[in-house]
Amino acid sequence: MKKWVTFALLGYGLFGLAIYYYLYGMAAGGIPEIYKGTSADPSLFLSEAEQALIKEYSTIKNLLFFISVPFEWLVYFFIVILGISRKFEEWSKQTVRFSFGQTAIYLFYLSVLTFLLAFPLQYIGYHFSKAYHISAQTFSQWMKNELIDFWISYAIMSVLIFTLYGLMKKFKKKWWLAAWMLFVPFTIFMMYVQPVIIDPLYNDFYPLKNKQLEAKILDLADRADIPADHVYEVNKSKETNALNAYVTGIGDHARIVLWDTTLNKLNEDEILFVMAHEMAHYVKKHIYIGIGSYLVLAFFGFWLTAKWMEKLVSKYGEKLQIHELSQLRTLPLFLLVISILTFSISPFTNAISRFEEKQADAYAIEMTENKDAAISAFRKLSKEGLSEMKPPGLVKIFRYGHPAMAERIYMIETYPLPGEKEKEKKEGADAQKSQD
């Protein structure tokens, strides 16, 4: 056990030093030559001080991300090998006799411990977000949201973990398949209820107040054959100064949502471009593609988790005092494996997401035919959110579900609109005639 602890701490420390060196020493600054002099050149709309500020904040965020993920793994690893998970299970069994109560008590102990251990890194993230004027929350407001997160997660996880371990006891070998089969309707259910039950716990959602703007957005929706009656705005200005809009939910509960910060800081043409982009996700069925992909990946994820856990318990179960996979004390091991697999496939899922975002950008520019509004909207999004124009390679691969801002702006500038395509064809035909 001492050897495991030593190697784990040493490995985490070396990884932290390596990622620090990569982000602060190796990651190239500036942008590629192809963007210089174009609309994507940050020197054309950002001062040197603003560029430096974006670089500082982005590097801090990236560092926190890369050290937070393996820190979570380290926590789960130590909870298992130090016997903490076993103690939590024993205490829960001593407290109540019925199995759901034991699961709820065990999970409460585990959730509180992991929350407290992760809190310093969470607070550091909040601190820098506040210091760089991204977050508009007071500490009490931020803490309130953290506690809401905790209790919502705890309530949902109590049901999920009780069900999961019940399936492990009933289906010794095929529990992962049974779990996945129940996971499918649960995922669809959560996608359906989140916009109307969970999201309002954090913020107030209401139909767009600017009815003239709403009429123009609904006209775009009608042109895109989207059966929308309302566009919703949400009061995010109490939390952040960043800009955003998104599509959430499925079926009758699908919503197009605008942050009030976006309404306050973008002009009408810029907002219409952003809305066209969000409508593209509906038109291109990205939400349903995302759900389908997620469920397929979950199938293989459950299978790999089962195989991995079986091997670990078979090899190290005696040392860890784990006799069966269905014991609650194996939960941190389950969460550890799931977290590692999720991180491992993030380059793939992020690549798919970036492709969909490019599709949405292309759809939006074709619908609005207003490149100036699109470019100025992206410039403001970058400036207000302190978004990197061109992130380092590893950051893009593991963190970015959207193309980098420089890529998006350059794509918009060079994207041939229908009128421009016809003009290019005519100019080419005229040039060919003159040569003849």
Question: Annotated catalytic sites, by residue?
Answer: 278
Name the 3-class secondary structure at 96. Answer: coil
Q: How many alpha carbons fall within 13 Å on the CB side of residue 270?
A: 18
Rounded Cα distance, 355 and 402, in Å: 8
Burial of 20 (0-12, 13-18, 19+ CB in 10 A): middle
φ and ψ of 174, to 5 deg: -105, 25
Per the CB < 8 A criterion, the answer to whether 130 and 140 are in contact is no
Residues 6+ apart with CB under 8 A from 116: none
Rounded Cα distance, 391 and 404, in Å: 7
Secondary structure element (H or E) that encloses residue 245, with its range: strand 245-248
φ and ψ of 30, to 5 deg: 75, -175
What b/e readout covers 334-360, taking b as 16+ CB neighbours within 10 angstroms? bbbbbebbeeeebeeebeebbebbebb
Rounded Cα distance, 16 and 4, in Å: 18
Per the CB < 8 A criterion, the answer to whether 369 and 319 are in contact is no
